[in-house]
């Protein structure tokens, strides 16, 4: 007898992205990153601007030269390399030496993307791979943080100090962060809510594009309204971080507002290529990234864990795509012979 109608399933495979579609998507991402990028330049000064320009330009040149050397079509027009270089520049300290930023961009584009087959075939998020490479190779430079020069009236390369997460890694608490903010004139008082307000607005030390929660959220809203990203992975990542923070003895609100959790949730966990394709897969992916981030923050050697949280879940993505497959249609039921 013929079987009942059954779903046709999409097996796990590299994402196929046309240059036209990629250009439109990357264009929206660039627009969404503009507010955080401008804010980073305003508060951190020329070093931040130089890193942004070098990161984007080097990534673009690396892709063009690699594809020329390997006799492949030039795909720089899809803007994906520029997005990768910009993202890398925004998730590293503004004081990072320019040659390191350039090296990280080359590694992100060539090793993490082109070696896997180019746009749509990479397993891991290229910008995060670039940051992980720099962090492993040059930990001192990648953990030297600039205080906001526009607030302090000093050059970003001459005034450094710990980020909010570093206070926790050094054994301090939210109160110590608030006291530091108040001493620098970044908040009205060392109390809890003025400290949270400073974290939300973003006028404090950190990576170039991650400090202003307000502008990161604005970019996320734009991406959601233009249907560039899906809400599930970002929401699940934030939920995972909050739920993991409670048993770890961390303040949930501080956990979300400090570091790069929201930036990673909006701009990294939503990557079309390295994140799962199914709704359930996106939820599991985001939740896992949030939990791993908090575990690294609490017990790892580094104060931040977003990079490795998302990269670890990138490795799980092919499994999630096979386990939770997407239905695309049904095979019609055939009539039995002679009936």
Q: pLDDT tens digits for 52-79?
A: 999 999 999 999 999 999 999 888 888 9
Q: Is residue 335 part of a domain?
A: no
More confident position, 118 or 135 = 135
Q: Are residues 22 and 147 in the same domain?
A: yes
Q: Note the pLDDT tens digit of each residue in 212-261.
A: 999 999 999 999 999 999 999 999 999 999 999 999 989 999 999 998 99
pLDDT of residue 205: 86
- Quick one: pLDDT band at residue 171, thresholds 50, 70, 90? confident
pLDDT of residue 334: 59
pLDDT of residue 38: 97
Q: Is residue 173 part of a domain?
A: no
Which percentage of the chain shows pLDDT scores above 70? 86
Q: Give the whole-angstrom CA distance, residue 80 versus residue 267.
A: 13
Q: Are residues 34 and 92 in the same domain?
A: yes
pLDDT of residue 13: 40
pTM above 0.85, yes or no: yes
pLDDT of residue 26: 92
Q: Give the whole-angstrom CA distance, residue 29 versus residue 287.
A: 23
Helix (H) or strand (E) holding 270: none
Would the CA dihedral through 165, 170, 174, 180 be positive or negative?
A: negative
Q: Give the whole-angstrom CA distance, residue 172 versus residue 225.
A: 39
Q: Are residues 94 and 220 in the same domain?
A: yes
Identify the top-confidence range among 153-162, 268-277, 305-314.
305-314
Q: Read off the DSSP letter of residue 108.
A: I
Would you say 56 and 2 are in contact if contact means Cβ atoms under 8 Å apart?
A: no
The first and second tokens of residue 76, run together, are: 């720089």
Q: Are residues 76 and 220 in the same domain?
A: yes
Environment class of residue 98 by beta-carbon count within 10 Å: exposed (0-12), middle (13-18) or buried (19+)? middle
pLDDT of residue 150: 59
Helix axes 80-90, 19-44, angle to 10 degrees: 30
pLDDT of residue 60: 96
Q: Which residues contact 148 (CB under 8 A, 6 or more apart)?
A: 43, 44, 156, 186, 203, 204, 205, 211
Q: Are residues 257 and 206 in the same domain?
A: no
Domain span at 304:
229-330
Q: Give the whole-angstrom CA distance, residue 287 versus residue 207.
A: 23
Would you say 274 and 289 are in contact if contact means Cβ atoms under 8 Å apart?
A: no
Total domains, the chain? 2
Q: Are residues 125 and 237 in the same domain?
A: no
Q: Is residue 177 part of a domain?
A: no
Identify the top-confidence range among 85-94, 188-197, 295-304.
85-94
Q: Is residue 303 part of a domain?
A: yes
């Amino acid at each position: 007898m013929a079987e009942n109608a059954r779903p046709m399933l999409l097996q796990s495979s590299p994402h196929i992205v046309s240059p036209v579609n990629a250009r439109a998507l990357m264009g929206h991402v660039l627009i969404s990153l503009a507010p955080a990028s401008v804010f980073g330049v305003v508060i951190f000064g020329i070093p931040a601007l130089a890193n942004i320009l070098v990161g984007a330009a080097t990534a673009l040149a690396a892709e063009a030269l690699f594809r020329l050397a390997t006799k492949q079509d030039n795909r720089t027009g899809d803007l994906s390399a520029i997005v990768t270089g910009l993202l890398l520049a925004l998730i590293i300290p503004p004081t990072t030496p320019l040659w390191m930023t350039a090296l990280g961009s080359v590694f992100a584009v060539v090793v993490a993307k082109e070696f896997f087959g180019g746009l749509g075939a990479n397993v891991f998020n290229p910008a995060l791979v670039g940051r992980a490479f720099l962090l492993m190779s040059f930990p001192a430079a990648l953990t030297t943080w600039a205080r906001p020069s526009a607030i302090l009236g000093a050059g970003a390369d001459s005034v450094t100090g710990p980020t909010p997460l570093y206070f926790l890694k050094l054994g301090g608490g939210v109160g110590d962060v608030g006291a530091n903010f108040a001493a620098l004139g970044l908040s009205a008082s060392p109390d809890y809510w003025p400290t949270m307000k400073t974290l939300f607005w973003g006028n404090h030390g950190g990576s170039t594009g991650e400090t202003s929660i307000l502008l990161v959220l604005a970019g996320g809203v734009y991406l959601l309204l233009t249907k560039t990203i899906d809400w599930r992975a970002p929401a699940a990542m934030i939920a995972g971080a909050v739920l993991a923070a409670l048993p770890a003895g961390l303040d949930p609100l501080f956990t979300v507002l400090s570091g790069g959790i929201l930036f990673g949730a909006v701009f990294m966990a939503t990557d079309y290529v390295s994140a799962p394709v199914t709704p359930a897969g996106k939820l599991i992916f985001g939740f896992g990234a949030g939990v791993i981030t908090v575990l690294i923050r609490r017990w790892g050697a580094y104060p931040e864990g977003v990079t490795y949280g998302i990269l670890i879940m990138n490795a799980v993505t092919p499994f999630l795509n096979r386990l939770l497959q997407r239905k695309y249609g049904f095979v019609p039921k055939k009539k039995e012979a002679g009936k």
